[in-house]
Amino acid sequence: MIVAGADGCRTGWVICRRDASGALDVSIEKTLAVACEGLSILAVDMPIGFVDVPRPPRACETEARKRLPGKTSSVFPTPCRPVLACTTYAEANALSRSLGIGLPKQTFHLFDKMREVDDLLRTRPDLRTVLHEAHPELAFAKMNGGRPVLSKKRKPEGYAERRRLLEAHGFPCPVDRLPGAARDDILDAIAVCRTALLIAEGKAECLGARDVRDAAGLPMTIWY
């Protein structure tokens, strides 16, 4: 059984694969479709499933923020599905505002990755049992006894703390750097790889009702 975790980066996706022996391999893939091949489970740090209007937000996001006191800003608000088709921030923000609330610019910068995951799941229904939404900070909190890791992952102390947690749970970071990816992208991919293993073993927790689907038939759940 091979599982993996994926985190978006500026050149595509950081993919951490774990084989049946427990060995980890971290690499960059340009597309998520390529990364899915041969996997039992792929946990991805990107929204899956979109509400039709921005308020109320997805229940899984609300629950995730409750589990991350002091770290709620790490759970970006997911756009509603109509806004996802917009190609400029001004257009996306105006449409979102007309439907209920404006859109943060940092969320808009993730639109390309969100659309990639959404298109993949809509055109490849066979991958709906493979791809699962995950969140690195929920994964780290789980490794930390349920307590959010409040140090900043881009600072040396935050990077070191998360790396220690991964190693303590059998996921030692095999590489420090990859061309086209930040150091914290690598840690996040490894963290959600552990989530993928927990899903495969039936040990993961799920936020959001599993039987709720969006207009495209996709789940709106976050696993950790």
- pLDDT for the residue numbered 71: 97
The rounded distance, in Å, linking the Cα atoms of 217 and 196 is 22
Average confidence score pLDDT of the chain: 97
- Greatest pairwise CA separation for the chain in angstroms: 52
User: What band does 212 get if pLDDT is binned at 50, 70 and 90?
Assistant: very high
Residues forming beta bridges with residue 28, ordered by sequence position: 14
194: region left, alpha or beta (phi > 0 left; psi from -120 to 50 alpha): alpha
Mean pLDDT of 126-135: 98
Mean pLDDT of 199-205: 98
Q: What proportion of the chain, given as a percentage, has pLDDT over 90?
A: 100
Please report, for the chain, the start and end positions of each structural domain, with discontinuous segments joined by +.
1-76+115-224
User: What band does 51 get if pLDDT is binned at 50, 70 and 90?
Assistant: very high
Task: Assign domain 1-76+115-224 to its CATH architecture.
Answer: 2-Layer Sandwich (3.30)
- pLDDT for the residue numbered 118: 98
Tell me the pLDDT tens digit for each residue of 5-14: 999 999 999 9
Tell me the pLDDT tens digit for each residue of 96-109: 999 999 999 999 99
Token pair recorded at residue 6: 């994926």
